């Protein structure tokens, strides 16, 4: 039976593609609020890593070669605007065993985790595009994949910084775009994070500082977690400073 995450990845990619399709060359050259990357840089980054995830599923030996040449491949940075790799990629992931292990730049992961990570990256980097274009994207309950990843990487945020993992895991209660309520961990916990799933996902993917959201954060552990939260792999990254990531107001 097919699992849902590849379909969610495809739909999130389609939403971004629909936003990108009418853009001009000048639009693609516009810098975003993320490290000065242009919209073109964002799209190229997503394409390269989608291609890598697809290759890790289809051909582990070629993926190993790609991984060894990764820096050169990124430095080559050809412009990619019309490639719809994600469509064929979705079909390959749907046909795969979600529990199968695939190689990655870091530790191996399951097929399900691999495509969930691509969904998360697509949504997170899409925020840079939407912010730059002065738009709010139409959020859906696909966000539950990202919210769940944000909760499950609580310990990772501390281990990644060489810090001890707190014994108490905060309770998380979020309102989905549909109005559904999503909950994780023990409701009686004094440490808790509550509010919009959109806000929570923006914080765990570091597209917003928690101070720029309406999340309600209570307890020293929860407060600390929100300052270092990081649901993606790689070395420790700090969240953006308050007020530095926002939907730009464009002249009418």
| Domains of the chain and any CATH numbers | 5-133 (1.20.120.450), 143-228 (3.30.1050)
Based on the number of CB atoms within 10 Å of its own CB, is 196 exposed (0-12), middle (13-18) or buried (19 or more)?
Answer: middle
Q: Is the pLDDT of residue 29 over 90?
A: yes
Q: What is the pLDDT of residues 148-167, one digit of tens each?
A: 999 999 999 999 999 999 99
The string of pLDDT tens digits covering residues 31-49 is 999 999 999 999 988 998 8
pLDDT band of 85, cuts 50, 70, 90:
confident
For residue 240, the model assigns a pLDDT of: 97
Report angle CA 134, 128, 91 to the nearest 5 degrees. Answer: 115
User: What's the number of CA atoms in the CB half-sphere (13 Å) around residue 213?
Assistant: 25
CB 39 within 8 A of CB 23: yes
Written as six digits, the tokens of 245 are 């990531």
According to the model, what pLDDT value does residue 14 have? 96
* Furthest C-alpha separation in the chain: 53
pTM above 0.85, yes or no: yes
Per-chain mean pLDDT for the chain: 91
Q: Is 212 helix (H, G, I), strand (E, B) or coil?
A: helix
Q: Which residues have a Cβ under 8 Å from the Cβ of 58 and sit 6 or more positions away?
A: 92
In 153-239, which ranges are continuous DSSP H helix?
154-159, 197-204, 220-228
Does the pLDDT value for residue 128 go beyond 80? yes
pLDDT at 75 over 60: no
The answer to whether residue 116 scores a pLDDT higher than 70 is: yes
């Amino acid at each position: 039976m097919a699992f849902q995450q590849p379909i969610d990845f495809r739909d999130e990619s389609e939403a971004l593609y629909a936003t990108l399709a009418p853009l001009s060359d000048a639009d693609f050259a516009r810098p975003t609020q993320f490290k000065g990357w242009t919209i073109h840089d964002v799209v190229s980054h997503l394409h390269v890593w989608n291609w890598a995830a697809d290759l890790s599923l289809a051909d582990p030996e070629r993926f190993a070669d790609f991984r060894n040449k990764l820096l050169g491949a990124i430095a080559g940075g050809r412009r990619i605007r019309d490639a719809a790799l994600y469509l064929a990629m979705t079909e390959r992931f749907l046909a795969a065993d979600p529990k199968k292990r695939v190689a990655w730049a870091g530790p191996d992961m399951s097929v399900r985790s691999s495509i969930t990570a691509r969904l998360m990256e697509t949504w997170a980097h899409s925020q840079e595009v939407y912010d730059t274009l002065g738009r709010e994207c139409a959020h859906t309950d696909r966000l539950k994949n990202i919210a769940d990843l944000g909760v499950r990487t609580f310990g990772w945020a501390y281990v990644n910084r060489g810090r001890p993992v707190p014994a108490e895991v905060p309770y998380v209660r979020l309102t989905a775009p549909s109005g559904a309520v999503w909950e994780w961990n023990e409701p009686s916990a004094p440490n808790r994070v509550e509010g919009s799933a959109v806000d929570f996902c923006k914080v765990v993917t570091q597209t917003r500082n928690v101070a720029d959201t309406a999340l309600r954060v209570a307890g020293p552990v929860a407060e600390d977690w929100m300052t270092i939260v990081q649901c993606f792999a790689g070395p420790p990254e700090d969240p953006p400073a308050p007020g530095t990531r926002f939907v730009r107001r464009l002249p009418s």
